[in-house]
Chains A and B, each alone.
Chain A
């Protein structure tokens, strides 16, 4: 039971990573590798700040801001510097590695004996692992509501339109470069937040904790889509968190089967690859007749269907 509770709590904390990645990967429609640098950066900044005596709330906010700055750099390289997004992300991600080492001074800092967002009386009075469940749930709800509301504003609609059809967005006077930069900033801010929360929950920050992060974020998004199928934009935001929890369950099962934690990145990649290939398998094996729900048209598929 406690393993399941722990998995749900982790699912919420990592779900924020998925939501952040959703903004760039699904809405703006490009893969942002900066994630691999901003997730550990959020952790590093937060833990380093806390160990220097900064309050956990302030340290977490600081992590968000630094994440946004990294997103801004990627955005500027991509839009103003005309560097392809994949490369721009890799450049910033690589730079972040050194910066994270600078911030922490060493490759690993522990929060042992220090304050964190999880060390308050209310959370500590809860049963084991319920601290990350309740705090994670609270933050996920806040983030999801704010984002859902944002996407319904005129600015949010312009943001969605930029990812959907750049040419059109431009011809309607939308500043697509600003939209992309904004998306990268918010996305990486959220990802740094996720890193800060995971670090506080785990009790340490490690410079290598960013490796394979993008696969975990994508897995949350794709699992959510595979399980829940066609949804509205708001529902899709919620589906990402559900996907993140389901992904934690998959990891739990895998670990119960006797795999070690060292195998997790391999497993993550396999899970993601299988989910990505599922639509193709379905078509090839004519499984559509048996599975009513599911990924009817996953989003990268942008071809125009004639009305039927």
Chain B
């Protein structure tokens, strides 16, 4: 078997550590993510899904345990440096785009994710055909709004832009934190569909948090369920295919 692209070894985090209110959020997470995995992450509120993403993304320190990417330890690597191989889409459409900058300016920024930004002219015009092409894949009129400030887009367009920005420069690991939760059901399904296509096309490795059991079953090749800071279910391939919504409901009732 190939080596995991991302590995979490006994990752533990606390809040209010060394105080009487000390509480464990992640309780020794062990997870191996292999290249090409598309993992849907389920779990009730407070199960630690977002905390898990934050530790992988680097904006939350790991208290115990290790995180490895391509067998190299990155546990203490800064958030900025991790962006060289990792990208994220947030739940809130406002968090993923710069509102006063245009759609194309946002894409240009994202194309340089994790790269050095020097005193070189940005070369926006040169990139416009490329931006036109990739925004056309979204089928929500984004390709006609390249010169519109991102703050004037609809929520759906803005989130589609966030997703394009996260994938315009191929990430080794893509984290989707309920990126369609703020959208209406139709827009949400369209973006999920586009997400799925893009992940398959570029053979991306992705973890996606969702609250929709149907979506968790429909998308991805692997499914994990977090509960009280631990991975309770981890199913892959055929086993995941056989999983039904009733199985999941049964689990959540316990």
Contacts and interface: CB of A to CB of B under 8 A. Distances in A.
A171 B158 contact: no
Contacts, number: 101
A158 B110 CA distance: 10
A150 B122 CA distance: 10
What size tier do the contact residues of chain A reach? 20 to 34
A267 to B, nearest CB: 32
B213 interface: no
A261 interface: no
A172 B157 contact: no
A170 B101 contact: no
Interface string B200-214: 000000000000000
A77 interface: no
Interface string B109-126: 110111101111110000
B109 A172 contact: yes
Contact of B117 (A155, A165, A302, A304): A155
A307 B101 contact: no
Interface stretch (B31-39, B147-155, B187-195, B222-230): B147-155
B83 A150 contact: no
A305 B152 contact: yes
B114 A173 contact: yes
A157 B98 CA distance: 11
A153 B99 contact: no
B122 A172 contact: no
B109 to A, nearest CB: 5
B152 A173 contact: no
B139 interface: no
Contact of B118 (A155, A161, A305): A155
A115 to B, nearest CB: 34
Interface string A144-178: 00000110111111101100110111111111000
Given A165-B97, A304-B93, 18 more contacts: A150-B119, A152-B121, A154-B112, A154-B117, A157-B122, A160-B100, A164-B98, A165-B99, A167-B95, A168-B95, A169-B98, A302-B151, A304-B99, A304-B152, A305-B152, A306-B154, A307-B152, A307-B153
6 contacts: A154-B117, A154-B118, A168-B96, A173-B113, A304-B158, A306-B154
